[in-house]
Amino acid sequence: MTDNPTCRLIALAENPYFPAGTLFELAGGTLPDRGDGESIEIDPAIIVECHPFAENVPPGQCPVQITSFSSGELSHVRLDQTIHWQKLEMPIAPSAISSIDVLDRARDFEADHYEAPSGEEDRHYRLHIGHLRPGFYAAIFELADGQSARLTFIKHFPESFAKRCIPSEPQARTVMLPERSRLVETPKNETYFGFSTLLLNAALELATEWGENFGKPIDDRILARYPQLTSDEIAALTKISREAEYFIYSLAERELAGEISETEIPQLAVKEHPWLNAQNTARLTGIGMFYARK
């Protein structure tokens, strides 16, 4: 793979492939999937540049569109989705699979890799995708008989995000975008551990980011926003972020064990870490419940 390209948030104006106002993150003028698994160069005139969202998108809330399957009818691939997970069930026995690569087609990198999955008695393989961010994906299945299969799908932005897309520049013509809704109320900017709630939540967002920055130190990314921070302060922010992250994951494990309800997770999280904002709390609750069931 080449170096990961930088993507920008765009909305599509009237076009033959998706409803006007559909949001995507694209690296250039290529639409990796036009709805049937095939890529296409799109007219720059239908691209509306948008401001990026301040918060991470909850990956488990992204609508899924299955676009192509090389080893059978598209209707044979089924989306299994609850508030706890998103899985794609396909008519390939796990015992027939040697490995699976999930590729992010817009960012040009490997988002996931699995070796020889278990479940030999099952006739259908279930690919977990609840953790994947919005984007265009291809799952490549290397089979034990030397053949391969390819499944393509799109994870769209949740409707709540699409409704508040803000074009970054005034448009020279009218572009029909969904109606904007009011932003989620942010917590009062109080101070905890010597840091503002805004800074604490920004650090947590970066420390728990998915995609190409998953698991990477936050130093360079947070300094781009807050250049005045010292290395000791960044280390402290990282530690605080990890403590909040793992606490929410532990609550998700308790929910799975039946000790608490799902609605209690954010309540207990904010009680323990009162600086948490609603976006980070909801996002990490979803990720924690995915991990607990994986």
Q: Which pLDDT score is estimated for 39?
A: 92
Q: Where along the chain do its domains lie?
A: 58-155, 191-293
**Is residue 268 a contact partner of residue 251, using CB atoms and an 8 Å limit?**
yes
CATH 2.60.40.3080 fits 58-155, yes or no: yes
Residue 206, helix vs strand vs coil: helix
The reported pLDDT for the residue numbered 173 is 38
Q: How many angstroms from the chain centroid is the CA of residue 265?
A: 20
Q: Which helix (H) or strand (E) holds 186?
A: none
Beta carbons within 8 Å of 221's beta carbon, 6+ residues apart? 206, 213
Dist CA 111 CA 210 (whole Å):
9
- Token pair 């947070």 is found at 222
Instruction: Please check whether residue 248 is in contact with residue 282, taking contact to mean a CB–CB distance below 8 angstroms.
Output: no
Nearest of 151, 38, 140, 35 to residue 90 by alpha carbon: 151
At 275 the pLDDT is 93
What's the confidence (pLDDT) of residue 288? 85
**Distances from the Cα of 126 to the Cαs of 5, 67, 94, 110, 113, in angstroms?**
29, 17, 8, 19, 14
Write down the pTM of the prediction: 0.57
Chain CA centroid to CA 51, Å: 17
How far is residue 190 from each of residues 29, 164, 196, 200, 234, measured CA to CA in Å? 42, 26, 6, 10, 19
Chain Cα centroid distance, residue 145: 33
Torsion of CA 239, 206, 132, 9, to 10 degrees: 170
Q: Can you name the residues that pair with 26 across neighbouring β-strands?
A: 8
**b/e code 268-288 from CB counts within 10 Å (16+ = b):** bbeeebebbbebbbbbbbbbb
- pLDDT, tens digit, for every residue of 117-135? 765 567 889 999 999 999 9
DSSP state of 45: G
The crossing angle, in degrees rounded to 10, of helices 231-256 and 278-293 is 50
Rounded average pLDDT per 10-residue block, the chain, 294 residues: 69 84 88 92 84 83 93 88 88 91 93 78 87 95 93 92 63 38 42 89 88 82 90 95 95 92 88 88 83 74
Residue with the two structure tokens 């494990």: 253
